[in-house]
Amino acid sequence: MRRFLCVLLMAAVLGACLPGLAENEMIYQSAFNQGLDGWYARSGGSAQVELLPPTALHIRGRQSDWHSPGRDFDLVPGTPYTLTVQVRQQEMDEAQFMISVAHSSGGAESYENLARGTAKRGEWTTLSGDYTPGLFDRYVLYVETVNAPSLSFDIRFFRIYGPEGMEKMSNIKEEEPVLLPVEGELPSLKEAYAGKFDFGACVPGHLARSQEAMAFNASQFSILTPENELKPDAVLDVNGSRKLAAEDETAVAVHFDSAKPLLDYAQAHGIKVHGHVLVWHSQTPEAFFHEGYDTGKPLVSREIMLGRMENYIRQVLEYMKENYPGVIVSWDVVNEAIDDGTNQLRASNWVKTVGEDFVCRAFEFARKYAAEGTLLYYNDYNTAMPGKQNGIVRLLESVMEEGNIDGYGFQMHHEITFPSMASITAAVRRIAGMKLRLRVSELDIGINAVSNENYQKQAAMYGDIMRLMLEYADQTDAVQVWGVRDNQSWRADKHPLLFDAQGNPKPAFFAVVEAAQ
Ligand code: 9MR
């Protein structure tokens, strides 16, 4: 746990929380993951520095406090810099450290102490201080001890921040955040939320076939959703249905080839599945709504479409009961029925064929055929926007009158800038007040560019949303992120998830874990 807290602390010190960093940009960093980068032991000869993989430098053999890891820097006189470094020692209960500068002018060396801090045994500790250099010929920045001349110690993430727009020093090419190595085991999201609600993700079909990806998912998530594989366009067999329609226009043929790998894995490993989605205007073959399953022919009548709807829902749910009993614990019965412009029902093929009660009918059939205890959800986005929210609430009220709905799924595809936490909170409070079960079904939070600052803002919003849902833990079934790694997201350009493209946990991951504690 201490190691994990240390990672949290490190995540917290990235970016905006350091003094003077609001307007400053990182212009230099030693991550010690690609050599010593010019660092050497300042000493009379006894001290030695060496790399301590994956990202630290170790110094030993010291005989004086000033025997220290140091490096020459081309500092610009009169520029306000901020310096930070992390230090760790294992030999004393507490030891004091300083960042100092040795500057020389005409061969005469003089010194200033720039930052101080006390490091407890075994704990990475951040020293941080501001420095505006005077006029000298040479500057050596170094990390020394106070009254601990023989102490061996480690340093990492020596960083220099300078005014915005300033040229970067040597090794910084871009503001790419360095994700900190996780010491010890990665915390598990599902364990962090155990006893509160399920924490899950969606998984695209191709990754459901990867043992490695699924083993990772199994370690982190207690519930999974096939990202696209249970949508009508993956399940409805249009050719098969067309053949059946010659005999019976209400007949429907279905198959589950794309969803099977995920369902099989979940079944074998005791992972819950949330089904997405039975009835939707999108990702549903146009032919479904036409006579003879032929898009050249007119739309079918209400009676025929209700027959198709019932047959489709029945066959999907019966297949799941037979083949995957207990695996699918909940379903999005209807998705995104409310129009963003009018805040009324969307003018979809469902409305055009069945009519305005199509949502109620879908819930009626889902209740009729779902295994007992399966939770039935209506799922939608932009719930935080007042007009849309009104439309969603009106729809929920009408469906609730018939008693077949259990809950509401907030998609929550957000940006760090929008919507505000106040409006998200108001939306959750309002729908929670309707006494429906709740879930966050498709959480992701986009940023415009990868930077430490944006990673921190993203982490803060993830944390806020988790704390909000924890207030409703008794009423909430699950929070699910819409993807695992940023590069696999449906909006990869927004880096909206908890893990980066290499699978490293981002500050947002730790914020989600921390919110549960
Ligand atoms: O993540 C899904 C992406 O792979 C598909 O291309 C896309 C097609 O509509 O659907 C994405 O998932 C959507 C989900 O089914 C419903 N809510 C919005 C999601 C993001 O578009």
Position 23 scores a pLDDT of: 55
Q: Is the Cβ–Cβ distance between 73 and 52 less than 8 Å?
A: no
**In this predicted model, which residue has the larger pLDDT, 450 or 195?**
195
Closest-CA residue, ligand 1 atom 4, reads 490
Position 165 scores a pLDDT of: 81
**Domain spans, the chain:** 17-170, 222-405
From 206, 225, 227, give the residue whose CB has the most ligand 1 atoms within 8 Å, as the site to mutate: 227
Interval 43-80: pLDDT, tens: 878 999 998 876 789 999 999 999 999 999 999 999 99
Mean pLDDT of the chain: 92
- What is the rounded average pLDDT of the residues 415-436? 98
Position 54 scores a pLDDT of: 64
Token pair in block for residue 186:
């990665």
Interval 164-215: pLDDT, tens: 888 877 655 445 676 766 767 899 999 999 999 999 999 999 999 999 999 9
Alpha helices in 149-259 (DSSP H): 189-192, 205-208, 211-220, 232-235, 238-245
Which protein residues touch ligand 1 with a CB less than 6 Å away?
227-228, 282-283, 335, 411, 442, 490
Position 88 scores a pLDDT of: 95
Token pair in block for residue 110:
């003089």
Position 3 scores a pLDDT of: 42
Closest-CA residue, ligand 1 atom 8, reads 283
From 490, 493, 494, give the residue whose CB has the most ligand 1 atoms within 8 Å, as the site to mutate: 490
- Evaluate the CA torsion angle 219, 221, 227, 232 in order and state its sign: positive
- State which ligand 1 atom lies nearest to the alpha carbon of 282: 9
Cα–Cα distance measured from residue 283 to residue 421, given in angstroms and rounded to the nearest whole number: 31
Cis peptide bond prior to 54, omega within 30° of 0: yes
Closest-CA residue, ligand 1 atom 1, reads 490
- As a CATH number, domain 222-405 is 3.20.20.80
- What is the rounded average pLDDT of the residues 318-325? 98
- Which residues on adjacent β-strands are paired with residue 142? 70, 100
Position 164 scores a pLDDT of: 83
- Evaluate the CA torsion angle 299, 303, 309, 311 in order and state its sign: negative
**In this predicted model, which residue has the larger pLDDT, 161 or 422?**
422
- State which ligand 1 atom lies nearest to the alpha carbon of 231: 15
Position 180 scores a pLDDT of: 67
Cα distances from 103 to residues 12, 129, 134, 142, in angstroms, run 32, 17, 9, 11
Q: Is the Cβ–Cβ distance between 272 and 266 less than 8 Å?
A: yes
Position 412 scores a pLDDT of: 98
Position 22 scores a pLDDT of: 39
User: Residue 401: what are its φ and ψ, rounded to 5°?
Assistant: -55, -30
- What is the rounded average pLDDT of the residues 434-463? 96
Interval between CA 343 and ligand 1 midpoint (Å): 21
Residue in 235, 278, 267 with CA at minimum distance from that of residue 404: 278
What percent of the chain is predicted at pLDDT more than 90? 83
Interval 497-508: pLDDT, tens: 999 988 999 999
Closest-CA residue, ligand 1 atom 9, reads 283
Token pair in block for residue 74:
């081309």
From 379, 441, 482, give the residue whose CB has the most ligand 1 atoms within 8 Å, as the site to mutate: 482
Interval between CA 346 and ligand 1 midpoint (Å): 18
Grouping H, G, I as helix, E, B as strand and the rest as coil, residue 75 is coil
- What is the rounded average pLDDT of the residues 304-329? 98
Cα–Cα distance measured from residue 417 to residue 404, given in angstroms and rounded to the nearest whole number: 36
Q: What is the CA radius of gyration of the chain?
A: 29
Residue in 485, 446, 486, 455 with CA at minimum distance from that of residue 180: 455
Interval between CA 348 and ligand 1 midpoint (Å): 17
Interval 261-314: pLDDT, tens: 999 999 999 999 999 999 999 999 999 999 999 999 999 999 999 999 999 999
User: Residue 285: what are its φ and ψ, rounded to 5°?
Assistant: -60, 135
Domain 17-170 belongs to what architecture?
Sandwich (2.60)
Interval between CA 488 and ligand 1 midpoint (Å): 12
Position 44 scores a pLDDT of: 77
- What is the rounded average pLDDT of the residues 118-134? 93
Position 5 scores a pLDDT of: 41
Position 248 scores a pLDDT of: 98
In b/e form, how buried is each residue of 226-237, taking b as 16+ CB within 10 angstroms? bbbbbbbbbbbb
- State which ligand 1 atom lies nearest to the alpha carbon of 483: 1
Interval between CA 174 and ligand 1 midpoint (Å): 32
Q: Please tell me the least confidently modeled range out of 21-30, 130-139, 190-199, 482-491.
A: 21-30
Interval 477-492: pLDDT, tens: 999 999 999 999 999 9
- What is the rounded average pLDDT of the residues 134-146? 96
Q: Is 201 left (phi over 0), alpha (psi -120 to 50) or beta?
A: beta
- Rounded to two decimals, the pTM is 0.71
In the block, tokens 């990806």 appear at 213
What percent of the chain is predicted at pLDDT more than 70? 93
Closest-CA residue, ligand 1 atom 3, reads 490
Position 10 scores a pLDDT of: 43
Q: Is the Cβ–Cβ distance between 460 and 452 less than 8 Å?
A: no
- DSSP-derived secondary structure letter, 372: T
β-bridge pairing 153-163 and 81-88 = antiparallel
Q: Is pLDDT above 80 for 15?
A: no
Active-site positions read: 336, 442
Three-state SS across 411-450? CCEEECCECCHHHHHHHHHHHHCCCCEEEEEEEEEECCCC
From 442, 484, 486, 487, give the residue whose CB has the most ligand 1 atoms within 8 Å, as the site to mutate: 442
Closest-CA residue, ligand 1 atom 11, reads 490
Q: Is pLDDT above 50 for 14?
A: no
Rounded to the nearest 10 degrees, the angle between the axes of helix 211-220 and helix 260-269 is: 50
Residue in 379, 261, 366 with CA at minimum distance from that of residue 317: 366
pLDDT band with cut points at 50, 70 and 90 for residue 353: very high
Position 377 scores a pLDDT of: 99
- What is the rounded average pLDDT of the residues 440-467? 96
- DSSP-derived secondary structure letter, 184: S
Interval between CA 295 and ligand 1 midpoint (Å): 24
Residues whose CB is less than 8 angstroms from the CB of residue 140 and which lie 6 or more positions away in sequence, other chains included: 42, 70, 71, 72, 73, 101, 102, 103
Q: Is pLDDT above 70 for 457?
A: yes
Grouping H, G, I as helix, E, B as strand and the rest as coil, residue 459 is helix
pLDDT band with cut points at 50, 70 and 90 for residue 7: very low
Position 178 scores a pLDDT of: 67
Cis peptide bond prior to 285, omega within 30° of 0: no
Q: Is pLDDT above 90 for 24?
A: no
